[in-house]
Structure 1
Amino acid sequence: MTTVVPELQLLQILPYMFLCAAITAAWLPKMIWTGPFKILVPGHLLAIFAGVLALTVGLILPTAAAVLLILALLLWVTVKVSLPFPLRVFAGALALFVALMLAMHKVPGFHNILLLDKIRLTDDALPFTLYANFDKGMVAYLLLRMFCQRASSFKEFIVDGKRSAVPAIMTLTVLIALGLVTQFFRFHPKLPEATLLFMAVNLFFTCVAEEAFFRGLIQELIYRLGNKPVFGYLAILVSAILFGLAHLGGGIQYAALATVAGLGYAIVYHQSRRLEWAILTHAAFNLCHFVLFTYPRLV
């Protein structure tokens, strides 16, 4: 298999580098950014640099930048402004809608870079295309920075990991078993040239974005509707079903497996109501799928 990666100029890559740095600053436990590892540039400045560079090189148009600003404003109003409960719910619903449109690439004005174009990782696999989705990455950053709950220290991160270990391992086990039983994929270990590229793009522009949206935003919003246990169960179920529906473009079987995956990630999130381990569980399964099994699925 030959990796089909276009020759990219540095100015095209820089916005993504700044965006990844901003996402990292917003996502990882604060303890990591102390001492010799303390970040010198705040995450919001990194995100602004990313946006300005993207405008400069034509990755995004002014209309697209305006929509990103609208999302940031709606999230700020939802979290920071003291509004009557119905107005806060309305602002949150609008933020959810705008974030969804951006994540699904329904907002015009973004020119995402094509990295891999219809390559076949194995002879029995469907062709695979990979984009670096700036719109989805900005949604990930804004949700992480302005709404989602994260661990406040490395110790808290480790405690959350201990709580999440069993549901995370069970999620990976069930997904692999279902994928094999339903013949969605078969065991086919490999190490494609594009593995590192896939890991980076999948983590920052797929896993972080999707978990921030489905768990950190949707599931968390339902939790906040009330303290009764029913809201907890409803939050898990709704986020899982919506996650599956978002994958309907890949077919019924793909959507069904995605629903099971979403259920597992939602249960992982439920252990702490912080986002780190849901992201890591999602990324771990996607990486296992990529290097150990037919990817993206059997023909």
Structure 2
Amino acid sequence: MNKKELIWGLVLTALVAVLVIVGWLPLANAIGLLGVACLAWFFRKEELNRWIKVGLFLLLVPLAFWVASYEPEGFAYPLLFSLADDAGEAARYQLSVDFAKGIAGFLLLYLLWPRLRANEFVVSARLSLVFMLLAPLFIIGVAISVLGLQWQPKPVEQILQFAVVSLLITCIAEEVFMRFLFQQNLRNAIASFTANRALQDIIPLLLVTGIFVAIHAGISGAAIWVYALVGFLYGLSYTLSKNILYPIAIHFLVNQIHFSFLTYPL
């Protein structure tokens, strides 16, 4: 561990301690974050034996998802706002600040950012940028057509609050989980068996699209196909660019346009 990592580690430890003390982060999740940091720090080492890396992967993935999703009984993250539903019914959507998910995302972003390998396929930055701008419009257009989303603009204050939480917690964490934990590692594993670059990129893309759909367990009907399209295009942006910033940006734009102007949630 170098000096820079040590400083960031101390800052993170202090932040987590403060969040636990003020009651905004469960102690169990704080301990889990320490485990995520340690596992990710070892996992990123290129010189590790293949089977040791497999073992670390099998520990890191469930722990990271547990930390990001677990809420002890009686605990609630700070609530920013609720979207009211019909009188007498529960709110249809609540925006809370899930600190565990956000911190886990930034931890993995910092520790697992991959170095581009010499044989990896990458398109030009201009093409990646065009894809980043067009993909959200295509996704929203399909969602409106297939799911019948209606015009439902939100107050500016809620739009701004949603933007901050969506970017810094939802989009970064979910894309880092999907791209760094799954897609990139699957690509590296397949590359160890074949030099065919098409197989190295297409197989992980399809598998991770399936995982993306599977983790959205509450969806059904036509929404499954919309989520499949969404997961595929998020993953394709990473396949083309090998840069996590592009799927994060697309994910953010889709979420933000959907929330700001249309029926939300689905």
TM-score of the superposition, structure 2-length normalised? 0.81
Q: Percent identity over the alignment?
A: 26
Contact 1:150 1:276 in 2 (8 A): no
Cα distance, 1:189 vs. partner?
4.5
Structure 1 residues 76 and 191, CA, compared in 2 at 3 Å: closer, same or farther?
A: same
Cα distance, 1:107 vs. partner?
7.1
Cα distance, 1:184 vs. partner?
3.9
Contact 1:243 1:259 in 2 (8 A): yes
Tell me which of 2, 15, 23 is aligned to 1:50. 15
1:67 is aligned to: 32
Tell me which of 220, 236, 241 is aligned to 1:267. 236
TM-score of the superposition, structure 1-length normalised? 0.73
2:119 is aligned to: none
Q: Secondary structure at the match of 1:206?
A: helix
Q: Secondary structure at the match of 2:243?
A: coil
Contact 1:247 1:254 in 2 (8 A): no
Letter in 2 for 1:246: I
Letter in 1 for 2:80: L
Cα distance, 1:64 vs. partner?
2.2
Tell me which of 184, 198, 203 is aligned to 2:167. 203
CA RMSD for the aligned pairs? 2.8
Q: How many residues align?
A: 246
Unmatched tracts of structure 2, length 5 or more: 1-5, 117-122
Contact 2:26 2:71 in 1 (8 A): no
Is 2:175 the counterpart of 1:175?
no
1:241 is aligned to: 210
Alignment of 1:1-299 (within 5 A): 43-80=8-45, 82-105=47-70, 111-119=76-84, 127-149=92-114, 161-227=125-191, 228=196, 229-297=198-266
Contact 1:245 1:259 in 2 (8 A): no
Cα distance, 1:170 vs. partner?
3.9
Q: Secondary structure at the match of 2:157?
A: coil
Per-residue deviation, residues 87-111 of structure 1 (Å, max 9, x unmatched): 1112012111111222233677964
Separation (CA, whole Å) in 2 of partners of 1:150 and 1:249:
36
Unmatched tracts of structure 1, length 5 or more: 1-40, 152-158
Letter in 2 for 1:278: P
Contact 2:258 2:264 in 1 (8 A): yes
Cα distance, 1:69 vs. partner?
1.0
Per-residue deviation, residues 14-56 of structure 1 (Å, max 9, x unmatched): xxxxxxxxxxxxxxxxxxxxxxxxxxx9644442232021122
Structure 1 residues 270 and 110, CA, compared in 2 at 3 Å: closer, same or farther?
A: farther
Letter in 2 for 1:201: V
Contact 2:125 2:241 in 1 (8 A): no
Letter in 2 for 1:115: L
Q: Secondary structure at the match of 1:223?
A: helix
Q: Secondary structure at the match of 1:83?
A: coil
Contact 1:248 1:254 in 2 (8 A): no
Cα distance, 1:118 vs. partner?
4.2
Contact 1:120 1:127 in 2 (8 A): yes
